[in-house]
């Protein structure tokens, strides 16, 4: 992204993000911000194909160096091309080939090529925070020998170097740097045709800095039709428009052009970028922490790939803030899921009991109808069958009574947990209300910043689960021990709590067999759940049987 800086009173400067970022998608200039974010998400998911394409292109160019008939001039051309292509992709390679191009130009003794190589190498050095080296390299150039295109390129390199330098300093002792940057920009504008692209982006930037927003918008939007899409220039223009709308306070338009620029960076495999990080920061301010977290991590991944210190530092400053907010939102979402899981479990249990009841009643009815058809020929057998039927009905009633008792216990425990959480919530709301009235905001921050309450709630959840489960299946541990080798059996303890391994198999007994769901409920890692399941199954007396299926049969009515 290309941006500039505005000097303000009391030595303040507004940093402007630079870095010529690549292609924008055809036809998206008038798309809605939400659709652009969706497009950006899709492009991020398919990023590998763009990176692989870039690598293949670079490898093809590099292979030309293996030709034995390649003259020194040819080597220079290859090195120069690679330096430019790697400029926004991998900083180390861009610097390596930039130096090789300079060496080749010096061996050729070609002054023009030497000047071109120094300008290109200075651009790379600026991006890797070698600011003094970059300025020194540019200062070596005899300005009187520069052609018009070289002079423009040289001034642009100076401007970029000072912008990166100012950005790196973060407002500390930058007055001289800002002055030099402004001087070179004024010099550059004096050499540029007023109807050209370079003039538009540089003059447009100056208008933004001086507060002439309408003039900046007019010149930048007028430039769009003359700039070819899917080019680096188009991306730069879009990023400057994003900066303009940021200054105007039009965040929707700012978001639109940042999304377009970020999408272009990925499609063109540009790793030295800032649009995605700025977009993440903007979305974080709007409360979209999920996208903000995804984008800032992608930005850090690009910075690490490019391997430039400045971009790593900038992204690392923002990442912890966005990631923390994302984790808090995710925790709230998971809490809602846990509540829904409990509700669904209760409803499922009620439904299961109803189905079992209806099935047994239908079976008993069918048997009674069959007995009625045979009553005339089997009077003696009827008495025995009626006696057996009565006994079976008696057992059925006992079993149903037991099932109803289990259901009542489960519902009672669920209501008790709900009541307890409502009371805790009311107490917390009352405390917050008092703290706010008393102006004790810092106390509230301390309370909400600690995870101690979450740990207590987690322990309370475990205790409530253990209590409810053991009320329903009091002999669970004893029955499980019967399936294990003697030396591997679990102590019965007080019969009121379960350890971590038993708690995993308690959930399996309740029909929750998905390791991901078990890990989420118990707040364990997925690997830990797999280890617990494997460990307990290895203790089985009979390795040939389905151990977990036998666990699910514990406590079934006979």
Q: Which one of 209-223, 255-269, 418-432, 463-477 scores highest in mean pLDDT?
A: 209-223
- pLDDT single digits (tens) 489-508: 888 777 678 888 889 999 99
Say yes or no: do domains 6-273 and 473-558 share a fold.
no
Give the tokens for residue 280. Answer: 């993440």
Helix/strand/coil for 69: coil
pTM: 0.54
* CB under 8 A, 24+ apart: contacts of 59-68: 61/85
Question: Given a cut of 80, is residue 63 above it in pLDDT?
Answer: yes
Neighbours of 97 (CB within 10 A): 26
For residues 392 and 388, what is the distance between their CA atoms, to the nearest angstrom?
A: 6
29, 259 in Cβ contact below 8 A? no
The answer to whether 204 and 247 have CB atoms below 8 angstroms apart is: no
Domain assignments of the chain as residue spans, ordered by start: 6-273, 473-558
Q: pLDDT value at position 54?
A: 93
Q: For the chain, give the percent of residues with pLDDT over 90.
A: 38
Range 6-273 has CATH code 1.25.40.10: yes
Q: How far is CA 451 from CA 454, 456, 460, in A?
A: 5, 9, 14
- Listing DSSP states for 476-512 in one string gives HHHHHHHTB-GGGPPP-TTSS---HHHHHHHHHHTT-
Q: List pLDDT tens digits, range 355-397.
A: 988 988 888 888 778 877 877 777 778 778 878 767 777 765 6
pLDDT score recorded for residue 162: 94
Q: What is the pLDDT of residue 22?
A: 36
User: Is the CB of residue 221 less than 8 Å from the CB of residue 237?
Assistant: no
Average pLDDT, rounded, for the chain = 82
Q: What is the DSSP letter of 228?
A: P
Within a 10 A sphere around the Cβ of 1, how many other Cβ atoms? 27
CA angle in degrees (0–180, nearest 5) for 339-435-449: 55
Those residues with Cβ within 8 angstroms of residue 73's Cβ, 6 or more apart along the chain or in another chain: 108
Q: What's the rounded mean pLDDT across residues 268-281? A: 87
Q: Confirm if 515 and 530 have CB atoms less than 8 A apart.
A: yes
Which of 270-274, 448-452, 540-544 bottoms out in mean pLDDT, i.e. has the lowest? 448-452
CA angle 26, 28, 30 (to 5 degrees): 135
- Say whether 21 sits in a helix, a strand or coil: coil
Decide if pLDDT at 212 tops 90.
yes
Q: Looking at the chain, how many residues does it have?
A: 558
> Taking the CA of residue 380 as centre, how many other CA atoms within 13 Å lie in the half-sphere pointing to its CB?
0
CA-based nearest residue to 245, from 286, 206, 216? 216
Q: According to the model, what pLDDT value does residue 7 have? A: 33
- Range of 26-30, 244-248, 321-325, 326-330 with top mean pLDDT: 244-248
CATH of domain 473-558: 1.10.10
Residue 211 zone, left/alpha/beta (φ > 0; ψ -120 to 50; rest): left
Query: Are 536 and 488 in contact, with CB atoms under 8 Å apart?
Result: no
pLDDT surpasses 90 at 17: no
Q: What pLDDT was estimated at residue 445?
A: 75
pLDDT at 9: 32
Cα angle: 253, vertex 259, 264; to 5 degrees: 130
Q: What are the tokens at 173?
A: 């002792």
């Amino acid at each position: 992204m290309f941006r500039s800086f505005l000097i303000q009173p009391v030595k303040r400067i507004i940093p402007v993000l630079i870095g010529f970022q690549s292609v924008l998608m055809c036809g998206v200039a008038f798309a809605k911000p939400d659709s652009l974010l969706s497009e950006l998400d899709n492009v991020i998911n398919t990023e590998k194909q763009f990176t692989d394409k870039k690598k293949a292109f670079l490898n093809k160019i590099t292979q030309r160096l293996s030709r034995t008939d390649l003259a020194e001039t040819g080597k220079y051309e290859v090195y120069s091309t690679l330096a430019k292509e790697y400029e926004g992709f991998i900083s180390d390679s861009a610097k390596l080939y930039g130096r090789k191009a300079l060496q080749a130009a010096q061996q050729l003794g070609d002054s023009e090529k030497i000047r071109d190589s120094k300008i290109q190498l200075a651009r790379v050095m600026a991006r890797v925070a070698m600011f003094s080296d970059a300025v020194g390299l540019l200062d070596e150039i005899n300005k009187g020998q520069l052609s018009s295109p070289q002079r423009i390129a040289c001034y642009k390199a100076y401007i970029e170097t000072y912008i990166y330098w100012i950005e790196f300093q973060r407002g500390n002792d930058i007055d001289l740097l800002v002055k030099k940057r402004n001087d070179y920009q004024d010099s550059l504008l004096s050499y540029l045709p007023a109807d050209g692209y370079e003039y538009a982006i540089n003059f447009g930037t100056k208008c933004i800095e001086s507060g002439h927003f309408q003039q900046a918008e007019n010149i930048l939007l007028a430039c769009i039709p003359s700039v070819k899409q899917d080019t680096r220039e188009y991306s730069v223009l879009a990023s400057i428009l994003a900066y303009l709308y940021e200054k105007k306070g039009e965040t929707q338009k700012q978001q639109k052009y940042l999304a377009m620029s970020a999408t272009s960076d990925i499609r063109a495999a540009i790793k030295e970028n800032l649009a995605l990080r700025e977009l993440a920061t903007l979305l974080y301010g709007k409360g979209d922490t999920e996208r903000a977290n995804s984008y800032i991590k992608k930005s850090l991944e690009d910075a690490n790939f490019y391997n430039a210190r400045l971009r790593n530092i900038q992204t690392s400053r923002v990442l912890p803030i966005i990631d923390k907010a994302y984790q808090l939102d995710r925790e709230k979402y998971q809490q809602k899921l846990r509540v829904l899981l409990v509700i669904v479990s209760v409803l499922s249990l009620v439904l299961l009991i109803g189905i079992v009841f209806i099935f047994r009643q239908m079976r008993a009815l069918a048997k009674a109808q069959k007995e009625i058809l045979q009553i005339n020929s089997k009077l003696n057998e009827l008495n025995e069958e009626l006696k057996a039927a009565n006994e079976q009905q008696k057992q059925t009633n006992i079993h149903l009574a037991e099932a109803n008792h289990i259901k009542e216990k489960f519902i009672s425990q669920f209501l008790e947990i709900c009541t307890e959480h409502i009371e805790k919530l009311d107490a917390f709301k009352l405390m917050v209300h008092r703290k706010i009235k008393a102006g004790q905001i810092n106390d509230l921050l301390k309370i909400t910043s600690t995870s101690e309450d979450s740990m207590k709630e987690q322990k309370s959840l475990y205790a409530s689960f253990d209590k409810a489960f053991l009320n329903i299946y009091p002999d669970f541990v004893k029955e499980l021990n019967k399936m294990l080798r003697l030396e591997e059996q679990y102590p019965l303890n007080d019969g009121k709590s379960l350890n971590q391994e038993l708690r995993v198999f308690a959930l399996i007994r309740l029909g929750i067999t998905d390791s991901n769901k078990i890990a989420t409920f118990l707040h364990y890692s997925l690997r830990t759940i797999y280890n617990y399941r494997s460990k307990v199954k290895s203790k089985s007396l009979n390795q040939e049987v389905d151990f977990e299926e036998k666990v699910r049969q514990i406590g079934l009515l006979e």
